């Protein structure tokens, strides 16, 4: 994917999270990566979404963070995005929002439990919460260390980032990712919906429990992995 194509894709993902009601003011960002070219494209810092155009997206060297294109400063969260691209080698897009329900779980420092099949369709298990950041991590390299605590959380809990494409950063908010910026934006929308559903479920029944693993895995794997059969392609291949 050439730079201008990637800029278009990243700009569209930023517009998609606005249209989905996941961001207000300038709170949020989407990025995309071209691993072959070694570049990342991300929203500029502090620019209102309604004023942004594809040419405003900033191009950075994935390894160094050096700005390679664009006249505006990149998002302050770009070190977090770069850290995740380095750690999770199969992802191609990242979205960060401050959407109200997912952010509420993050501020409560609670993982988002998998309470039903709607959740299991998209995330194989709870959406984890990171540990709180240490004062030294906040004082120096805050954004880079935000990425580090996400990476630590997935490694410590042996979570596959392709099966759980999102995280709640303690006291902060959600990050999601996907194969490209569009999929990352879809996962951000899904995460917000699941966070809202969990709030309603626990309001009705505070003792609600996670269903059995067999049911949850059935829902996850019918949409994901080599045995997936959900969707028109699978139907067309098996129908006579």
Question: Of these residues, 121, 142, 160, 229, which one is catalytic?
Answer: 121
- 121 catalytic per annotation: yes
Question: Each residue of 162-188: pLDDT tens digit?
Answer: 999 999 999 999 999 999 999 999 999
- 142 catalytic per annotation: no
CB 117 within 8 A of CB 215: yes
Q: Are strands 28-34 and 93-97 parallel, antiparallel or unpaired?
A: antiparallel
Averaged pLDDT, 143-169: 98
User: Which residues of the chain form beta strands (DSSP E)?
Assistant: 28-34, 39-42, 58-61, 67-69, 93-97, 166-169, 173-178
Residue 3 has a pLDDT of 85
Question: Each residue of 104-134: pLDDT tens digit?
Answer: 999 999 999 999 999 999 999 999 999 999 9
Q: Which two tokens stand for residue 179?
A: 């194969």
Torsion angle in degrees (nearest 10) through CA of 6, 18, 118, 194: 120
**pLDDT tops 70 at residue 96:** yes
Residue 2 has a pLDDT of 64
Task: HSE, CB side, 13 Å, CA atoms: give it for residue 167.
Answer: 27
Question: Each residue of 37-90: pLDDT tens digit?
Answer: 999 999 999 998 989 999 999 999 999 999 999 889 999 999 999 999 999 999
Question: Of these residues, 142, 200, 229, 230, which one is catalytic?
Answer: 230
Residue 23's closest CA among 14, 35, 36, 11?
14
Between 10 and 2, the higher pLDDT residue:
10
Give the separation between CA 4 and CA 188, rounded to whole angstroms: 24
Residue 225 has a pLDDT of 87
**pLDDT tops 80 at residue 92:** yes
CB 64 within 8 A of CB 144: no
Residue 137 has a pLDDT of 98
């Amino acid at each position: 994917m050439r730079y201008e194509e990637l800029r278009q894709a990243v700009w569209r993902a930023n517009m998609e999270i606005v249209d989905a009601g996941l961001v207000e003011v300038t709170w949020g960002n989407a990025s995309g990566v071209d691993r072959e070219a070694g570049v990342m494209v991300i929203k500029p810092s502090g620019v209102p979404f309604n004023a942004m155009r594809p040419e405003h997206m900033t191009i950075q060297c994935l390894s160094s963070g050096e700005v390679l294109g664009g006249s505006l400063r990149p998002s302050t969260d770009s070190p977090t995005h770069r850290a995740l691209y380095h750690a999770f080698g199969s992802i191609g897009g990242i979205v960060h929002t401050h959407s109200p329900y997912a952010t509420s779980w993050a501020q409560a420092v609670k993982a988002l439990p998998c309470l039903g099949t709607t959740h299991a369709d998209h995330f194989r298990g709870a959406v984890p919460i990171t540990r709180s950041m240490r004062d030294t991590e906040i004082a120096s390299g805050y954004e880079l260390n935000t990425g580090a605590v996400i990476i630590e959380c997935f490694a410590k809990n042996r979570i596959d980032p392709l099966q759980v494409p999102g995280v709640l950063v303690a006291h902060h908010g959600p990050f999601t990712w996907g194969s490209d910026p569009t999929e990352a934006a879809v996962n951000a929308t899904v995460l917000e919906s699941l966070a809202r559903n969990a709030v309603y479920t626990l309001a009705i029944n505070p003792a609600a429990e996670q269903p059995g693993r067999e049911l949850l895995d059935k829902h996850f794997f019918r949409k994901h992995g080599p045995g997936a059969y959900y969707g028109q392609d699978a139907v067309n291949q098996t129908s006579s």
